[in-house]
Structure 1
Amino acid sequence: MGVVVRDLVPAFLEFWAKAVQEPERQLELWDEYVAASPDVLNDAERNGITVDPQQVLAGYGGREDLIRANAPRATEWITSAFDLVAPALAAADVELHAVAMVGLGTSNGWVSVVDGSYTLFLAVEQIADLDGARILAAHELAHALQLPLPERPWPEDGTLGETVYAEGFATALTLELLPQYGLAEHLWFGTGYENWLAEAERALPEATAGILAELESAEHDVLRRYLQFIKDGDLPTRIGYLVGTRAVQRLRETYTWPELARWSTTRATDELRAVLDQKSDQGATRDG
C-alpha cells in the first residue's frame, strides 16, 4: 500500500508568520495552532512532559531558516524511507501513517500510537542536514513497521530488553540498507560521534552485562541509564543502542529481516538474552 503523510509544517509556518507580526498575541496564537494541530504535542504527551509555550516559542526564532529549508522535503524523506525499508521487511503491502511537522525542539523523530495505529513523526526543526534526514527517516520507518508487524503488536512502552532489541533492529537494518554511512552516523543521525563510538566500544562488555541483568525491567531509570541522552553513571549515554545493534547483527547471521521483524516480544527478548549471554561470557574470558 504505502505511507500516508500528514504534513503539518505549512500550518506551523502560517502560525509563525502571525506570531512574528503580533508578538503580544503569541500565546493566544499558540493555543489556536495547537488546538488545530494537536499532534504537535504528541512528543510531550507520550513522555509526560509539561510544555512551557514561552520556552518553545523562544526556540523557534533561531530555527526558522532550517524549518523553511526542510519544509518541502519532509514528506519525500518519509515516502523514500518507506520505499527503502518496507520491501526489506516484506511489508510493502502495509499501510502506514506518518506526520511531518515542527515539534517542540526536543526529539527529531519517534513512533507513537495514534487512534490505535503506530504513527511515525518527523520533526523538521531538529534535522540539520539531508544525510541525517535520510538515516533518521529510515530508522523511524523501521520502528513504525517492526512494532505492529508481529501477530501480537508490541506495546508502545516496553521493557529494557524489548527496547534494546527494537533500537538495535532499526539501526542494524539502516546500516545494511544505507552502507555509505558509518555506524556512528547511524547511531546519532549525524557526523562527529566517532569519539563517542570508540568510548562506547570500550565500555561494551560492562554495558552488555548490565543490560543482561535487567532485561525484564521497565523502570524509567533503568531505560534512561542505557538509552537516553542523560548521563547516568560512568557509561556513555545511549550505549544501549550499540549493544542492541551488535546483538541484532549477530542474529542477522542466522535470520532474515522479515523474520526478525515479526518476532514476539518474548522471542525477541529470549534471542537477545542468548546473544548477550554469549558476549558476556566472552568478555569475562578476556578479562580473566
Structure 2
Amino acid sequence: MARIIDTTPAFDTYAKSAFLDSPIMRGQRWVEEYEGAHPDVFEAFYSEQGQPERGNPLTRELSRVRGQAEEGAAATKRVIEEVEPAVAEALGLPTSPSPVHVLMVGQFNANALVGRLGGEVALFHCLEWFQSEEATRVLVAHEDAHAWHEIALGEAPPEDPAWMAFSEGMAIQASRAVVPDRPDYDYFWYGHAGFEEWLPWCQEHRQQVFELFHAALDDPEGGESFFGGGLVEGRWRLGYFVADEIVRGLDRPLPELAAMNVDDARALVRDQLSALA
C-alpha cells in the first residue's frame, strides 16, 4: 500500500468552525488550527514552495473548497493506490523506498509538488486544484514520476532549463505510458479548462518556441519563465511543450531515461535543441 498522510480531516474541522468568521479571522485560524495541526507538513511544503506573500485567497471560498477537498481526497487516494506501482514499473525502478504522499489544501500556489518530509521524498497533493478523478490520474502519474526519479537520483535535481526539460519530458512520457489514451491536452493541463488553444498554438509556433527555449538555456530565470509562473510570448508553461517534444523525439525507453545521470541528460537536451532550434 502507498504511504499517505491525509490532512483533510483537520482542514474540514477548521473550515466548519471558521465558516461564519470574517476573512481576516479565517486566515488567522487557518494558521492556528489547520497548519497548526500538521506543522511538519506545512514547514516542509513552504520550504519547497515558499511562504505566500499575500493573504490566503481560500479563506473566502471555504464552503466550495471544503467539498472539493473532501471529494479530491477520496479520489486521489484511489488514484495513488492504482497509479503508483505502475509508475515505478514504467520507470524500471524498485518499489522501495517509496514516496510519501501528503493530501492537503494549499493556497492555489501549486497543484502538486515534490519535496522532503522528515528526510524522505514526499509528494504534496494540493486538493484546491482538484478537477476530476480522470484528470487526477494523469497529474498523479506525472508528479509521481518526479518523486520516484528523485529517489533514484538520491538528491533534489537542479532547476536549470536543460535538466527541467529532460525531467518534465520524462514525467510526461511516464504519464502517457501509465494513463494512456487521454486527450493530448490533459498531459499538460490535467483537465483545467480555458487552455484549449494552448497546444495548437505551440504546434503552430513550434520552431519559434524551440528557438526561444534554446536562447534561454543559460538564463538563470529560464526555468521560471518556461516552467513556472512566467510568460513567454504571452503564454504559460511553454517549456512543457518543448520537454515533451524533445524527450519523445529521443525514442528511448523510460527505464533508460530514468537511469541517466544529470550531466548526460542535460547534454542530450542541449544536443537536441541545437539540432532543432
Give the shorter-chain TM-score range. Answer: 0.7 to 0.9
Check whether the contact 2:90–2:254 (CA below 8 A) recurs between aligned residues. yes
RMSD across aligned C-alpha pairs, in angstroms? 2.3
Check whether the contact 1:160–1:223 (CA below 8 A) recurs between aligned residues. yes
Match of 2:275 in 1: 278
Check whether the contact 2:57–2:107 (CA below 8 A) recurs between aligned residues. no
With the length of structure 2 as denominator, give the TM-score of the two structures.
0.88
The equivalent position to 2:265 in structure 1, one of 257, 263, 268, is 268
Match of 1:242 in 2: 241
1:117-156 to 2 correspondences below 5 Å: 117-150=120-153, 152-155=154-157
The equivalent position to 1:79 in structure 2, one of 78, 81, 84, is 81
Question: Using a 3 Å threshold, how does the CA distance of structure 1 residues 29 and 147 change in structure 2: closer, same or farther?
Answer: same
Structure 2 gap ranges (5+):
none
Structure 1 gap ranges (5+):
281-288
The structural deviation recorded for 1:224 is 2.5
Check whether the contact 2:210–2:242 (CA below 8 A) recurs between aligned residues. yes
1:209-228 to 2 correspondences below 5 Å: 209-217=211-219, 219=220, 221-228=221-228
1:1-288 to 2 correspondences below 5 Å: 3-20=2-19, 26-30=26-30, 31-38=32-39, 39-40=41-42, 42-94=44-96, 95-150=98-153, 152-155=154-157, 157-190=158-191, 192=193, 193-217=195-219, 219=220, 221-232=221-232, 234=233, 236-251=235-250, 253=251, 255-280=252-277
Quote the Cα distance in structure 2 between the aligned partners of 1:187 and 1:133. Answer: 12
Aligned residue identity for 2:6:
D
Aligned length: 272
Once the two structures are overlaid, the 10-residue window that deviates more, 107-116 or 208-217, is 208-217
Check whether the contact 1:77–1:137 (CA below 8 A) recurs between aligned residues. yes
With the length of structure 1 as denominator, give the TM-score of the two structures.
0.85
SS of corresponding position for 1:180: coil
Once the two structures are overlaid, the 10-residue window that deviates more, 95-104 or 108-117, is 108-117
Question: Using a 3 Å threshold, how does the CA distance of structure 1 residues 25 and 47 change in structure 2: closer, same or farther?
Answer: closer
Aligned residue identity for 1:11:
A
Question: Using a 3 Å threshold, how does the CA distance of structure 1 residues 215 and 148 change in structure 2: closer, same or farther?
Answer: farther
Question: Using a 3 Å threshold, how does the CA distance of structure 1 residues 247 and 141 change in structure 2: closer, same or farther?
Answer: same
Aligned residue identity for 2:189:
W
Quote the Cα distance in structure 2 between the aligned partners of 1:55 and 1:191. Answer: 19
The structural deviation recorded for 1:229 is 4.0
Quote the Cα distance in structure 1 between the aligned partners of 2:192 and 2:54. Answer: 31
Aligned residue identity for 1:10:
P
